[in-house]
Amino acid sequence: MDFSGCPALEELIIKCSNIAIGGTLSFPSLKRLAIIKCDVPSEFRIPISAPGLVSLRLEDLNGMTPLVESMPSLVTGFIRLGGTRCADHCPLDKFGACGDDQCAPCYGSHDDDDDDGDGPVILTSLSNASHLELIAERGVGIFKRDLKWFPTFSKLKTLLLNEWSLASGLRAISCFLQHSAMLEKVTLQLNEEPEDTIELEGSCIPTDKLLHPKHLKLVEIRYLKVDERVLNVLKILNTFGISLDRINILKTSGLSNCFSFERCKEDLAAAGSTST
């Protein structure tokens, strides 16, 4: 699907549609893209090429998570992985790493003819963003898998994560803190109650090589109830030299699937254009 013949197209919302194509979704002129609750192939990843994109929203896709190509101009990204028929879902684990190295959702494809292979799917291509919300439903380990490539987020200022970031001893949180030098605010939104105890493993980087986030002003933890997860997050933050006066712990009244990019309209107001 090539939109190169639409040079004036800058904003596109695709919602509740069947995207059944075998080639690349190419948007050379697009600035803002949202793909919401759509059906995509379950046998392979559709590549998305949109080098001029400043805002990306991928939400609740049924099928395999698209293979996102480099987006050097990206400012804002809202990615929620899941959906009722998400092909990246592993039923044996919460957020990846089920222990079966033949499990493609957790560890990538081992097929030599598969272009996806074991390479990164999405995080590396979001590395220039200033604002990211990365949400994964239980059993979807794409983000966790992508972090093994240690992407660097050199412009990232605000970051929102949910429960997937607590898997494997909170290594995801420590990796983001280590590789996001300009980070100013981190929000952890813990909507689900834990099923198992989280074993704290520490940072993905040796303690003597930690780079403390100099620009971090606030870490906000939203939770249903205080449990071992919150206490372990505090331990990780302390390892990075983040004092308690920069940590805000808020109790939520109940389960909510509404994240901050959905609650505010700042991104749409900044767009100043109509949906196509």
Angle at 130 between CA 126 and CA 133, to 5 degrees: 65
Threshold 0.75, pTM exceeds: yes
Instruction: Note the pLDDT of residue 63.
Output: 93
DSSP-assigned beta bridge partners for residue 39: 18, 62
pLDDT tens, residue by residue, 68-113: 999 999 999 999 998 668 898 887 765 556 767 777 777 766 454 4
User: Residue 7: which pLDDT band, with cuts at 50, 70 and 90?
Assistant: confident
Q: What's residue 202's pLDDT? A: 46
Please state, in angstroms and rounded to a whole number, the distance separating the CA atoms of residues 37 and 16: 5
C-alpha R_g of the chain: 18
Direct distance between the N- and C-terminal alpha carbons of the chain, in angstroms, rounded to an integer: 16
- Segment 196-226, tens digit of pLDDT: 544 444 445 444 455 667 899 999 999 887 7
Task: Report the sign of the C-alpha dihedral through residues 147, 152, 155, 157, in that order.
Answer: positive
pLDDT tens digits, one per residue of 103-146? 777 776 645 444 455 689 999 999 999 999 999 988 888 998 89
Mean pLDDT, rounded, for 35-41: 94
